[in-house]
Structure 1
Amino acid sequence: MPDVLKAALIVLGSAGLAIVVVEILHRLVTKAGHRSAVAADLARTAHRPFLASATVFAVQQAIRAGAGEFPARAGVLHTLVILFIASFAWLVAALLLVLEDAALNRWRLDVPDNLRRRRFKTQVVILRRVTVAAIVIIALGVALMTFPNIRALGASVLASAGIVSVVAALAAQSTLGNVFAGLQLAFSDAVRVDDVVVVEGEWGRIEELTLTYVAVQIWDDRRLILPTSYFTTKPFQNWTRTGSAVLGTAEVDVDWATDIEPLRSELRTTCEGSELWDGRVCVLQVTDAVGGMVRLRALVSANDAGALWDLRCLVRERLVNFIWRHQRDSMPRVRADLSQPGPAGPVRPVPKPDPDSPDSRVFSGGDDGDSRGIAFGGPEEPVAATVQR
């Protein structure tokens, strides 16, 4: 009985001392958190796992050193070893979470051009998930190896590992495929967190990217959940792979009698008067003239996909309003000539277009147009003519 009482007193004393030391350190780190965001996050996230690890370790060492022999001593020490392994793994995972938060706070996404920041966030999130999974597996393996019977079975387990791995690979083929696809997406820059994509006919933003699935936030706040292997096996559009600035079009069908130059001036006025336009591209072109109508395409640019959508709607609205107010005869119509042929009427003078106007060119004129022409330029002669030679 005195030995049991002595062991209990030693356990309570060591546990109390560990708790006091941890609480003192916690208060110091919390006080430092008023000046440092990392210290504040550390005090908030790592307090409980550190308290559990320190308490279990102190009790274990106290029993080993001064408790002496008492009933079930070996079982208690073995239980404390397993608890320390679990609590220490919890502490390591918490420290990794603190490091990730510190890195992500330094590389924030709420900036105009956040391409590198989105790539960094994607890789950090994927690495943290992989690391946490590895910590759990290693901790579980170390805890199991503390049992003598399991250590004796280690040789036979290693001998049959080949067969087990084959069976497990066949059973979890799709899951493992998604895991490797997630790692590939994280380091290939094919898609990143906060990228704007068009997938399955839906336009949205990459909200979350994990090892097994990708969550796409659709523009109307729906969520499209896809396996990560989808983005490595099927085509999709990524509007922000090389930058957040994008181009967009607004098309309008008008009559052949439409005067194009005033509409081009109206487009320029609309873009220059809106904060949505980034100052790069503002072009109005005739892209089709069949079926009794002329199709006008306004090509504009913006800093991001959201601003581009609003700018396209604004341009379409202003062009329609301008045509209705100033060129009502330019609205699309269907013609039927029922009269006898007669002398031609007076010809309306057509203003001479300016061939050097940058508002009528997409792949030439200005630094931005010239660079786009080089990027999308093809052979100078048709391929068929080259083959015939």
Structure 2
Amino acid sequence: MSQKLVQPIGQKRLTNVAVVRLKKRGIRFEIACYKNKVLSWRSSVEKDLDEVLQSHIVYSNVSKGVLAKSKDLVAAFGTDDQSKICLEILDKGELQVAGKERESQLSNQFRDIATIVMEKTFNVETQRPYTISMIERLMHEIHFAVDPNSSSKKQALEVIHELQKHFPIKRSPMRLRICVPEKDFSSLLEKLNVWNASIVSKDDSGSQPSVICEMDPGLYRDCSEFVSSLKGRFELLAHSVHLEEVSRVDHCDDYAEGPSRLPKESADSESQLSEKLQKQATVSGGNENAKGEGKQIKCSTCNTFFGDSNEFRNHSKSDWHRHNVKRKTRQLPALTEEECSADMEMGDARADLKEYSF
């Protein structure tokens, strides 16, 4: 009995690849890419297409090595140029990843969403922002599930809307500077009153008086349209006022006069560090700090003690403190003043290199 010999004609098998899939006109098309390169390409980190694609060939099934038919390519993409089709699939297609990789991506996106929620909200009862761990806990309580096909910012706004139904959480107000013609200034003040906006300051002098106010971010579009109708102009000074205030002046209960005034969430960690920090402050400050040790003020962000409120206030306005606040929001450890200067210089160098690179 004769046996038919099957030749793998028209097949090119590839293994250990990242597959990007795009379905168009009811037909599935796939391309084979190197792992960890697709996201680099989409974020414009990788510029060389050959470093992303394993081959400039379009498949109907990469794992089986089945090539796409030319007539299907023309019907779906209007051309049979496989290099152009590969670019379209690479930009618009869905990246197929393994279970552990998908879990890692969802975990990272969950963290990104929680960070956005933390930056845009505050606790109504305490008038202070929630911590990142508290936001993640609340997101688990409402059984939030990450949608990998939706942006983190869009999902964060949906999470805020859902959290407001169950917890004392509110969007942090944005701060605006609005300038309108003098004849329309009273109309602007009336509109701000309707929007329940709080006026920080106002300047009635000049042909175009201005007002600095804080209002709900959901009114941004309405405010833009209203100011445009009055032929005025407005400037966004801060996306999240509460976060900006925390960046400029640290928590009021950072005084080291009593552990009972520390936040409940950080009381344990602060009590563990207090002895070490006091020893460091005593060694660095000498006898002068030893006299006023009981009245020292501590910056929990920079892990540093200060002798009086003036020193602490000046420190809160320094680049050192602001840089550590930014690191704290990203869950990074605090740096010393020397390390902070070096880190900022390195960041400036990277920015210059990125600006002048082609």
**Do the two structures share a fold, i.e. TM-score over 0.5?**
no
- TM-score of the aligned structures, taking structure 2 as reference length: 0.22
Which of the pair has more CA radius of gyration? 1
